[in-house]
Amino acid sequence: MSDPIDEFSFLPEQADEAGIHAPVPRGERLSLTLADGRTLSALRYSPADSPDAAPVVTFLHGAGLNAHTWDTTILALGLPALAIDLPGHGDSSWRDDAAYLARVLAPDVAAGIDAWTDAPQLLVGQSLGGLTAAAVAASRPDLVHELVVIDITPGLDPNAGAKQIRDFFAGPVDWASRDELVDRALAYGLGGGTRRRAERGVFFNSRIRGDGRVEWKHHFARLANAASASPADAASAAAQQDAVAAVLGESGWEDLAAVAAPTTLLRGARGYVTDEDAAEFARRVPAASVAVVASGHNVQEEIPQELGAGLRAMASGG
For residue 207, tell me if it sits in a domain.
no
For residue 55, tell me if it sits in a domain.
yes
For residue 190, tell me if it sits in a domain.
no
Query: What does the alpha-carbon distance between residue 8 and residue 263 come to, in Å, rounded to a whole number?
Result: 31
Identify the burial level of 234 via C-beta atoms within 10 angstroms of its C-beta, where 0-12 means exposed, 13-18 middle and 19 or more buried: middle
SS3 292: strand
For residue 15, tell me if it sits in a domain.
yes
Predicted pLDDT of residue 243 = 42
Active-site residue (options: 41, 127, 251, 295): 127
Report, in angstroms and rounded to the nearest whole number, the Rg of the chain calculated over CA atoms.
19
For residue 271, tell me if it sits in a domain.
yes
In this structure, what DSSP letter does residue 218 have?
A: S
Q: Judge whether 110 and 143 are in contact, CB under 8 Å.
A: yes
For residue 307, tell me if it sits in a domain.
yes
Give the distance, in angstroms, between the CA of residue 289 and the centroid of all CA atoms in the same chain: 21
Question: 127 catalytic, yes or no?
Answer: yes
Predicted pLDDT of residue 241 = 47
Segments forming the whole domain that contains residue 295: 11-161+227-315
For residue 101, tell me if it sits in a domain.
yes
Q: Judge whether 166 and 221 are in contact, CB under 8 Å.
A: no
Give buried/exposed letters for 257-279 (b at 16+ CB in 10 A, else e): eebebebbbbbbeebbbeeebbe
Query: What does the alpha-carbon distance between residue 157 and residue 184 come to, in Å, rounded to a whole number?
Result: 26
**In sequence order, which residues have a C-beta less than 8 Å from that of residue 110 and are 6 or more positions away?**
136, 139, 140, 143
Active-site residue (options: 85, 91, 151, 277): 151
**In sequence order, which residues have a C-beta less than 8 Å from that of residue 221 and are 6 or more positions away?**
64, 169, 173, 215
CA angle at 133 for the pair 9 and 111, rounded to the nearest 5°: 75
Question: 297 catalytic, yes or no?
Answer: yes
CA distances from 27 to 30, 44, 128, 182, 230 (A): 10, 6, 24, 25, 42
Question: 219 catalytic, yes or no?
Answer: no
Predicted pLDDT of residue 265 = 98
SS3 244: helix
Q: What is the mean pLDDT of each run of 10 residues along the chain (318 residues)?
A: 79 94 94 97 94 95 95 97 97 94 96 98 97 98 98 75 66 87 85 83 91 90 70 47 50 95 97 94 96 95 96 89
Q: How many domains in the chain?
A: 1
pTM confidence score: 0.91
Predicted pLDDT of residue 305 = 96
Give the distance, in angstroms, between the CA of residue 146 and the centroid of all CA atoms in the same chain: 18
For residue 295, tell me if it sits in a domain.
yes
**What CATH number has the domain bearing residue 18?**
3.40.50.1820
